[in-house]
Amino acid sequence: MKKKLKTALKILVSLALLGYVLSQIDTRQLLQTLKSCDIFDLFLAFIFFNLSKIVASVRLNYYFKDLGIKLSETKALILYYVGMFYNLFLPGGIGGDGYKIYLLQKRHNTGYKDLIAATLLDRLSGLVALLFLAGLLVAWSTFSRLWPPLLYFALGGAVLVYPIFLWLHKKLFRKFTTYITTTTLLGLATQLLQLISAYFIVRALPAQVPLVDFLALFLISSVVAVLPLTIGGVGAREFTFLYGLRLIGHDPALGVAFSFLFFLITLISSALGIFFIHRPLR
């Protein structure tokens, strides 16, 4: 019942945010923008998004190797996509991370605490890369010109985030230091591929938009989407684009269209996991 209430609350927050965002923009213009997008660029965005997931599965598999779990890259990728499916389509259930932990513990008799630590470290690695790239892009965006001190905060954060992460990694996750350089670089590569995916979504839009500002907002919205307040970041991303673009005097409808398209790519990609849901590790 507690899980169901949490899920219901997340759904309500997502719907409330979406409803508010849609009430603040011209929905007819939004629909027209979505209809006019370049399909080929969206296809490229889909390809790079899934490439990012392939790299992410390789990174997670390195953490499993530190625990003595030997999975082929193909099996690790299948398990990753099944986890994506559970996270997005069954948010009130065990969840994608919980499913991976349960299955690997059952098959390899590995301690739950170690598997939870590997999953948490995997998430932290991605979050650190997001913060690093967001700091760099925000520093050169219109936002830092509106408020000059933001330039120093953004660059300072970008410079410090990796040293802090590596220090915490070695202090709190000592079992996972064998491949620390590889996993850290793979975490950065994952977010760079998603940033390229976002670039192609921007290119697909039928109107000229400020590229650096859009990509900076994309990374900021990705950080916001990590917070466990909504279902898959739905509503949180759109809300971020609404106020971010208003702040710099641009049409928020284009940002909301971008956010919808990114979610659609995520939805289709996560749905691929259903083909392996009954045989993830055979």
Tokens of 129: 């890369």
pTM of the model: 0.91
Q: For the chain, list residues with pLDDT below 70.
A: 1, 91-94, 279-282
Angle in degrees, CA 142, 258, 261, rounded to 5: 160
Give residue 55's pLDDT.
97
Give residue 205's pLDDT.
93
Enumerate the domain spans of the chain.
2-276
Tokens of 216: 């900076």
Give residue 33's pLDDT.
87
Yes or no: say if 146 and 250 are a contact pair by the CB < 8 Å rule.
Answer: no
Question: Within 10 A of 279 (CB to CB), how many other CB atoms are there?
Answer: 9
Give residue 1's pLDDT.
66
Give residue 204's pLDDT.
95
Q: Per this entry, what is the length of the chain?
A: 282
Dist CA 66 CA 68 (whole Å): 6
Phi/psi for 109 (5° steps) reads 55, 40
Dist CA 183 CA 73 (whole Å): 14
- Quick: pLDDT tens for 133-183: 999 999 999 999 888 899 999 999 999 999 999 999 999 998 899 999 999
- Quick: pLDDT tens for 50-74: 999 999 999 999 999 999 898 899 9
Give residue 232's pLDDT.
74
